[in-house]
A and B are shown apart, each in its own frame.
Chain A
Amino acid sequence: MNKKAEGPKKEKVVGTPALFVTEWWTQFLWDMYCPGCQTPLVGRLIAEAIEELGIGDRAIMVMGNGCHAYLAGGLDFDVTSGGHGRAPDIATAMKRVMPDGIVFTVQGDGDCVAIGADALIGALSRGEKITIIMVNNTNYGTTGGQMAPTTIVGQVTTTSPQGRNPDVEGYPTHAAELVATFRGVSYSARGSLHTTANYRRTKKYITTAFQRQAEGVGLSFVEVITACPPNWHMTPIESLAWIEEKAIPDFPLGEFKNVTHIE
């Protein structure tokens, strides 16, 4: 196998060499993620943001339970993962013991706003100075595409086979807007990766979120809409169109809170 041909380019692409465990990306990425999955891009954006801010030596990360947790192997930070949804609790303890650390979690939508909703609200209430990156693919991807709190109205999943019916199953949870209502929050935004422009904007959101933590201002949060082609029963290209046409009308993109100090 010619690893050299498959590996990341050795050019000075910011973020890539220093904070990526390159062997993992070249050897395991393809086993871990489905074709068209955008979760690895979130990992890349995190690495780039941290590198550009020059805070990599202070960083430590916590993974939730789900596909996003495979990023544990791909980023060159010490990492842990505990119970489903417990990442904000784990990160809380780490940040309190190491206040100079850059402590962040990567969580899925189910991990963050379903089973881990109490942990999220707890961290928000306490204004923990951590960063939470929530990867929102509108369903439980790892377990085979069941309905999540973020499943949009009418979306077919394996546990909403007729499409999510708001009379029975309610409406999608809007995490970034919810987070922005808490006073202890410095930053909350929602981005997507389905176009180059949005990819760049999302990188700016993630960078700002880490910057707020480096400045010691409140909790920062970025929700990223990502494609889940196999569970959506679409091709990767169709998935990107679905995000544009169906997901984003329900999940508006942008910054919902951005403050440099909390009164």
Chain B
Amino acid sequence: MGDRIFIEGNEAVGWGALSAGCDCYFAYPISPQNEIPEFFSREMPKRGKVFVQAQSETGTIGMLYGAAAIGVRAMTSTSSPGWGLMQEGMSNLSGARLPCVIVLVQRVGPAVQNLQHAQMDYKSVTRGGGGGDYRNMVLAPSSVQETHDIVQLAFYLADKYSNPVVVLMDALMGHIFEPLEVKTLDFGPLPSKDDWRLRLRGQRKDGKHIVSPAKGMAEGYIDYLRNLREKYKSMESEIRYEGYMIDDAELVLVAYGYCARVCEEAVNEARAQGLKAGLLRPITLWPFPYKDIRDKAAQGCKFLVVEDSLGQMVDDVRMGVEGKAEVSLVDITFRHIASEDGMIMPQRVVEEIKRLI
């Protein structure tokens, strides 16, 4: 048993990274995730590890590239405007197949609105927002404990697939306070990085290593793309989701992050009123649990997607059901007050459940 502490989601990111043996963290301040860089600025130096505050998010993502290229566990975090600046770097990390972790605590957009929560970066995160054809693996926690655990899983999956992994949060998940048990999770053995990582010349045991996003020039471009596609395909074995009362559900809610917490409460209230609602919460947003959604559609379920945007994940659910089920949406316009400070409340979701069942 590790220590139990009462802590917010952003700091749980830090504890999760320390539990995973993160060697480097690169910071650029941006709300609502400033507790993360502040945590690392405190904790990394006293462990003899690297903390650097960069000049911008283009800087942090460049530093992440450098650290990943020499094979250490490295991480950065940001919010939505910073995520935009990182896209070229994300494309480079994917192109060079470098393992690293990026935590994105989403806030309202487009552009710089204010600092409140939202879920508007789903598409750029799950599809890749930089140049070229690539995929980020994306994990979405919906509690403080799960945030801590998922950050560790992210490091493991990044190393396993040699690919960037994004932990997608929102301002509410970053600032919610809950109890946390800090503990190191063991996910099993990992492949060695010694056959590709960069070393000082005197540390080399084999020939010269080159890490470059332009690997296609060396191994044949189409073969390089085929290899990427195969890797992305193999990631489908990592699909994770949590079902809550979905076995007998007539209406399946689909939500992640804070909206999943809202939906859990809505399902409880609907069940109390005799309405057979359930919740499917994707933990991996990419790869997405299309098959599990298709299976529920084949059983005759309807779907209600609840997300705090104009509707992004809803497209994945529609792809999953392949036209065989009705898919409805509770989006950001359903917030209880019509401002950045509003949120989607369980009561509003229950109203929709009643309308649909």
Residues on A lying within 8 angstroms of B by beta carbon are 21, 56-60, 62, 72-73, 76-84, 86, 88-94, 96-98, 100-102, 118-119, 121-122, 125-126
Instruction: Tell whether, in the assembled complex, residue B58 and residue A96 are in contact, meaning their CB atoms are under 8 Å apart.
Output: no
Contacts of A101 in B (CB 8 A): 200
- Is residue B50 contacting chain A, with contact meaning CB distance below 8 A? yes
Q: Given that A76-B208, A92-B52 are contacting pairs, would A82 and B213 also be in contact in the complex, using a CB cutoff of 8 Å? A: yes
On whether the beta carbons of A93 and B88 are closer than 8 Å, the reply is: no
Interface pairs (8), CB distance under 8 Å: A60-B201, A79-B210, A83-B65, A92-B66, A93-B24, A94-B198, A122-B56, A126-B52
Bound-state CA distance A60–B88 (Å) is 24
CB-CB < 8 A to B345: which residues of A? Answer: none
Given contacts A79-B210, A80-B212, contact A58 B52 (CB under 8 A): no
- Partner of B66 from the list A80, A84, A100 (CB cut-off 8 Å) is A80
- Chain B residues lying within 8 Å of A82, measured Cβ to Cβ, are 62, 65-66, 89, 92, 96, 213
State whether A97 touches B200 (Cβ < 8 A).
Answer: no
Residue of B whose beta carbon sits closest to that of A73: B210
Contact flag A58-B59 (CB < 8 Å), given A77-B208, A80-B66, A80-B210: no
Q: Which of B33-41, B69-77, B232-240, B246-254 contacts A (4 or more CB under 8 A)?
A: B69-77
Extra A-B contacts (7), CB below 8 Å, given A86-B92, A97-B67: A57-B200, A79-B198, A91-B66, A92-B63, A93-B26, A94-B67, A97-B72
A94 and B208 form a contact (CB under 8 A): no
Q: Which residues of B approach A to under 8 Å, CB–CB?
A: 23-24, 26, 50, 52, 54-56, 58-67, 69-70, 72, 74, 88-89, 92, 96, 198-202, 204, 208-214
The CA-CA distance from A186 to B54 in the complex, in Å, is 21
- In the bound complex, residues from chain B placing their C-beta under 8 Å from that of A118 are 55-56, 58-59
Known: A78-B209, A80-B210, A122-B56. A89 touches B201 (CB 8 A): no
Closest 5 CB pairs of A and B: A89-B62, A57-B202, A122-B55, A93-B66, A90-B66
Contact B62 A96 (CB under 8 A): no
A82 to B58 alpha-carbon distance, docked (Å)? 11
The contact of A78 among B55, B66, B96, B204, by CB within 8 Å, is B204
Assembly CA distance A132 to B118 (angstroms): 41
User: Closest CB-CB distance, A93 to chain B, in whole Å?
Assistant: 3
A72 to B212, CA, bound (A): 10
Pair B208/A79 contact, Cβ less than 8 Å = yes
Q: Given contacts A82-B213, A93-B24, A94-B70, is CB(A76)–CB(B88) below 8 Å?
A: no
| B54 touching A122, Cβ below 8 Å | yes
| B122 CB to nearest A CB, Å | 24
Which residues of chain B come closer than 8 Å to A90, judged between CB atoms?
Answer: 62-63, 65-66, 69
**Quick one: which of A56, A72, A83 contacts B201, CB cutoff 8 A?**
A56
Chain A residues with CB under 8 Å of B23's CB are 97
By secondary structure, the B interface counts as mixed
Set A78, A83, A86, A119: member contacting B199, Cβ < 8 A: A78
Known: A89-B66, A98-B70. A80 touches B198 (CB 8 A): yes
Give Cα A223–Cα B50 distance, bound, in whole angstroms.
29
Q: Which of A58, A77, A86, A89 has most chain B Cβ within 10 Å?
A: A89
Contact A81 B212 (CB under 8 A): yes
Most buried by A among B26, B70, B88, B210: B70
- The answer to whether A96 touches B89, judged by C-beta atoms less than 8 angstroms apart, is no
A169 to B208, CA, bound (A): 43
Given A60-B200, A80-B198, A93-B26: A125 and B55 interface contact (C-beta under 8 Å): yes
Q: How far is the CA of A121 from the CA of B54 in the complex (A)?
A: 10
> Which residues of chain A are within 8 angstroms of B58 by Cβ–Cβ distance?
83, 86, 89, 118-119
A183→B24 CA distance, assembly (Å): 26
B212: chain A residues at CB < 8 Å are 72, 80-81
**Quick one: given A82-B89, A89-B62, A90-B65, are A96 and B200 in contact (CB under 8 Å)?**
no
Chain B, Cβ-Cβ closest to A57: B202
Contact B201 A86 (CB under 8 A): no
User: Quick check: B65 and A60 within 8 Å, CB to CB?
Assistant: no
Residues of A within 8 Å of B52, CB to CB, are 92-93, 96, 126
CA distance A76 to B213 in the complex (A): 20
B218: nearest residue on chain A (CB-CB)? A73
Which residue of chain A lies nearest to B50 when distances are taken between CB atoms in the complex? A96
A20 CB, min distance to chain B CBs, angstroms = 12
Least CB distance from A16 to B in Å reads 16
For A88, the chain B residues whose CB sits under 8 A away are 62
User: Given the complex of chains A and B, what is the CA–CA distance between A78 and B61 in angstroms?
Assistant: 21
